[in-house]
Structure 1
């Protein structure tokens, strides 16, 4: 019988769950912001009407619950061409520089359901860079990656995405890139052909390629300072010389030791270029 009352997890109990999860699975949440992590685990407990004992038992004995818990913790809000002026800035201040490369690799880290990846693909298509580009979209959450791979989104979201696109100084219409089907829109195969979505854990996984462009927007804010620095080092090691790193509006390299290896391309949108 479901419990009628819901218990609230303490920070001490939270640490116990993090340690337990790390010991029984491949998931390590030790570097996540404790306040954000506490809110998200509490939400799972509320949804499932669990107390702390129930939660520990599920983490220990139910492998499918471990994955469910991680999916709930790592779900992020995203949309196509979020912050349209950011994409206009890429169009004018970053992509002209990248035109000098014969081949380009892009990495969207923490890509969630893939909207940022398709936004980047469209931008590259409109600047004639897409034929020599390849985009990797990665996330720890395999559930959102399945959505990303399909490239299918509710038609009710497309209106907002189209308004965002119009603010990027695009050369056409967003409708040029998708086909509407009943209540959904699927992005065309010519936009999806140079994209690969795969699972990657920023906490524990290492460099897997060399990139001219890395975007990780609104992910670092969920990590504590130590983990943020480790992830930024991963990005530095993954960038080619003079490659670009783009962070979210509340994320910056300024005041960090690693900043000596970068120059600021655009302070408003936290766009940096590796210089050494």
Structure 2
């Protein structure tokens, strides 16, 4: 039965790629299987073939399917130590540029993008920054662009913000309205939200910093290599690459072209 299910999954992923252009074929097999089994449970489908029928013949289902397949676990100032290190070690480097381009790849619902915007604002360089926030999923991009998050999370986010070296009262950055926190409009002024697929899309600019945190862990080894090549080609000389705490440049073909800026926080600088 497991062998049959594996065949069904391969056919499903191939069909999605050929019909819609979304390529999940090189995602880590264990993660893909777990997500598909979750979809079957949530959608009350008997097997993977039934899911294939639904996703290929019901275009209204595709967006929901992408939501299931893409990981959207995020928080503002997630891993506060990363942001504190970014503030202390990366900001001084960015301040040397007259204009700063930053790519947040796999930005999900935008919490980490707004965290970065707040940090850059407090360091008085946001006015000369452009943040490109991209994700494969248009639904989460709409949420990110709105900049509205559950008010119940703000107490937790405030603690992360303070641990990340926050310099003001976190509540100054949003307005509370019923059960929602609406983030200040000025934080969006220098953010460009756009759909981008790391699996098949190319570089679209040269960046001073690229942050792609907790995305590569869901790709297989060959796809990780491909994405590392994309990031290397997209970074300017002495540009900064930030990865998630379970990710690294180790075993990538580009590792020798970087130096560790902060190994524990997975911050690297392109030196060649």
What range is the shorter-chain TM-score in? Answer: over 0.9
**SS of aligned partner of 1:257:** coil
Work out whether 1:70 is the aligned partner of 2:66: yes
Gaps of at least 5 residues in structure 1 are: 1-6
**SS of aligned partner of 1:10:** helix
TM-score, normalised relative to structure 1: 0.95
Q: Which residue of 2 aligns with 1:192?
A: 188
Identify which range, 250-259 or 216-225, moves more after superposition: 250-259
Contact preservation (8 Å) 1:9, 1:42: no
Contact preservation (8 Å) 2:241, 2:268: yes
Alpha-carbon shift at residue 65 of structure 1 (Å): 2.1
Q: Which residue of 2 aligns with 1:117?
A: 113
Alpha-carbon shift at residue 162 of structure 1 (Å): 0.4
Q: 1:4-23 to 2 correspondence within 5 Å?
A: 10-23=5-18
C-alpha change, 1:147 and 1:8, in structure 2 (3 Å) is: farther
Write the distance in 1 (CA, Å) between the matches of 2:174 and 2:4: 44
Q: Which residue of 1 aligns with 2:223?
A: 227
Q: Which residue of 1 aligns with 2:235?
A: 239
Gaps of at least 5 residues in structure 2 are: none
- Give 2:162's match in structure 1, choosing from 158, 162, 166: 166
1:107-130 superposed Cα distances (whole Å, 9 cap, x missing partner): 110010000000000100111110
Q: Which residue of 2 aligns with 1:83?
A: 79
Write the distance in 1 (CA, Å) between the matches of 2:217 and 2:74: 14
Q: 1:35-74 to 2 correspondence within 5 Å?
A: 35-52=30-47, 53-74=49-70
Identify which range, 202-211 or 168-177, moves more after superposition: 168-177
| Paired residue total | 270
Q: 1:133-212 to 2 correspondence within 5 Å?
A: 133-212=129-208
Contact preservation (8 Å) 1:20, 1:59: no
- Give 1:25's match in structure 2, choosing from 11, 16, 20: 20
TM-score, normalised relative to structure 2: 0.96
1:180-225 superposed Cα distances (whole Å, 9 cap, x missing partner): 1111111111111111111110001000111101000000000000
